[in-house]
Amino acid sequence: MGRLEIQDLHFSYTAGEEILKGINLVLDGESTAIIGQNGAGKTTFVKLLKGLLRPTSGRILYNGKDLKDLTVAQIAQNIGMVFQNPYDLGLSDRKLVSIASIVAMNPDVIIFDEPTIAQDYAGKTRIGNIVKKLRNEGKLVLTIIHDMDFVADYFDRAVVFAKGNVLLEGNPEIVFADADVLEKAYLEQPNVTKLCHALGQEKIFLTTDAYVEYMRG
């Protein structure tokens, strides 16, 4: 089982413009969705977890070991990543092929950057089930994602990034109930949550299944 501990992580690409401004986070066991608007620093953050970028200050510990003492090749044996824009094939196929190639390497930590882009409902379901299966096998699964319905359906935990900071983290029920934080991070609630709110429901529902079950009593 992989465990990542991020301690006061700062990162800048260029002097004077800080992209990550002191991230503290423990990633351990739960499947985690990283959400936040464009430019919030999400891809930068996961590239640091892969050792492709190195912190300006602060530490990232993988199973207690500082990543700075490991080479990119050593990190790659443990932490796999499916990138936002793999090339060569059509976009939906590209994603599935790159997911398959990373999963085949059997790393303890698997990071996805926007896995559902260009996927239809069947593709999303397939990828969501891969996330669940990996998590149930004891892998640490991390995903950057803009699709809030996908978060509600498949993840244990959501971490809200905004302007290089973590604004809130917790299970999706807690995160999607916090209208103030979502507004600050320019995020929306899942579609079912919005619909139930519009229908006058006071309770928060994240998924169609949860709402249907409630209505059936």
Give contact residues for Mg ion (rule: CB under 5 A).
43
Binders of ligand ATP in range 2-41 (CB under 6 A): 13, 19, 36, 38-41
Nearer to Mg ion, 85 or 171 (CB): 85
User: Is 186 near ligand ATP (CB under 6 A)?
Assistant: no
Nearer to ligand ATP, 57 or 129 (CB): 57
Nearer to ligand ATP, 45 or 211 (CB): 45
Considering CB distances under 5 to 8 angstroms, the limit depending on partner class, which of ligand ATP, Mg ion, none binds residue 60? none
Residue 123 tokens, joined: 């593709």
Nearer to Mg ion, 27 or 192 (CB): 27
Closest CA to 148 of 185, 111, 180, 99: 185
CA separation for the pair 191, 141 (Å, rounded): 24
Considering CB distances under 5 to 8 angstroms, the limit depending on partner class, which of ligand ATP, Mg ion, none binds residue 40? ligand ATP
Closest CA to 39 of 215, 163, 134: 163
User: Is 193 near ligand ATP (CB under 6 A)?
Assistant: no
Closest CA to 159 of 145, 179, 140, 138: 145
Compute the least distance from the CB of residue 101 to ligand ATP, in Å.
Answer: 21
DSSP annotation string for 49-65: HTTSS--SEEEEEETTE
User: Of 9, 23, 31, 44, which one interacts with ligand ATP (CB under 6 A)?
Assistant: 44
Strands 3-14 and 57-62: antiparallel
Binding site for ligand ATP (CB under 6 A): 13, 19, 36, 38-44
